[in-house]
Amino acid sequence: MIEPNAWVIGLNDIIRLLFAVFIGGLIGIERELHYKAAGFRTMMLICVGAALFTMFSIRIGGPTDPARIAAQIVTGVGFIGAGVILHEKGEVRGITTAASIWAAAALGIGIGAGYLLFAGIATALMLFVAAVLPRFERRLIRTVSRAYTITTRLDPDQRPHLLALFQRCGLQAHCDSQSKRDDLMQTVWNVTGAAQAQEQAISLFYADLEVLEFES
């Protein structure tokens, strides 16, 4: 038998759902502008779904156990986030989108629990991190140093070839050591430059047929 208050929908419930749609839409628009897999509708549904789970949890669990259902959202949303992470040509992509999904669910939980102002402030901070900080990322993180161990065929032309690839990406590279192993040559490089340039160099080495083994 359905309880009499099962059909009662308060104004606060409607406001929370609409706010979850709005907040999820803001995050989704930012992802959509960057042509990411999880975009406008996905983020809205995640945020609204998390808010609904939290609201139902409060009603079902009562004041003594309001987080019985909401606690499972964190685990459940992890599977969605894992689905947007891609491994391609030695690169990992989609981590920021996965983190956005996780954060959208957290905002939905907060909205469902009634913390609208707190969720609004958190959304503003999220959009700042996702949309504004990348413009200053190169200034904040100017250069990084990495060590690379590269194995090629035993050929005197290979070392200048590797150096040219580093320089092509705008990196400063110095060969620290060189050793022979059967008919192979192994060189260890100390490379300094922008993080983005380092990733570009890694992509070039993975695509280069002359490079037999590569470690960084």
Is 155's pLDDT higher than 70? yes
Is 91's pLDDT higher than 70? no
The average confidence (pLDDT) of the chain is: 80
Q: Are strands 184-193 and 172-181 parallel, antiparallel or unpaired?
A: antiparallel
Tell me the domain boundaries of the chain: 10-140, 144-215
Around Cβ 133, how many Cβ atoms within 10 Å? 10
pLDDT at 6: 53
pTM equals 0.58
Is 168's pLDDT higher than 60? yes
pLDDT at 87: 55
Around Cβ 194, how many Cβ atoms within 10 Å? 17
pLDDT at 195: 77
Q: Which of 72-86, 132-146, 157-171 has the highest mean pLDDT?
A: 157-171
Exposed/middle/buried for residue 114 (C-beta within 10 Å: 0-12, 13-18, 19+): middle
Question: Which comes out higher in pLDDT, residue 73 or 71?
Answer: 73
Is 2's pLDDT higher than 50? no
Cα–Cα distance for residue pair 203/182, rounded to 1 Å: 27
How far the first Cα of the chain sits from its last, in Å, is: 64
Is 92's pLDDT higher than 70? no
Cα–Cα distance for residue pair 79/71, rounded to 1 Å: 15
- Which of the listed CATH numbers 3.40.1450.10, 3.30.70.260, 3.30.413.10, 3.20.20.80 matches domain 144-215? 3.30.70.260
- For 103, half-sphere exposure in the C-beta direction (CA atoms, 13 angstrom radius) is 23
- pLDDT class for 140, splitting at 50, 70, 90? low
How big is the CA angle at 63 (ends 59 and 110), to the nearest 5 degrees?
70
Cα–Cα distance for residue pair 100/44, rounded to 1 Å: 12
Is 216's pLDDT higher than 80? no
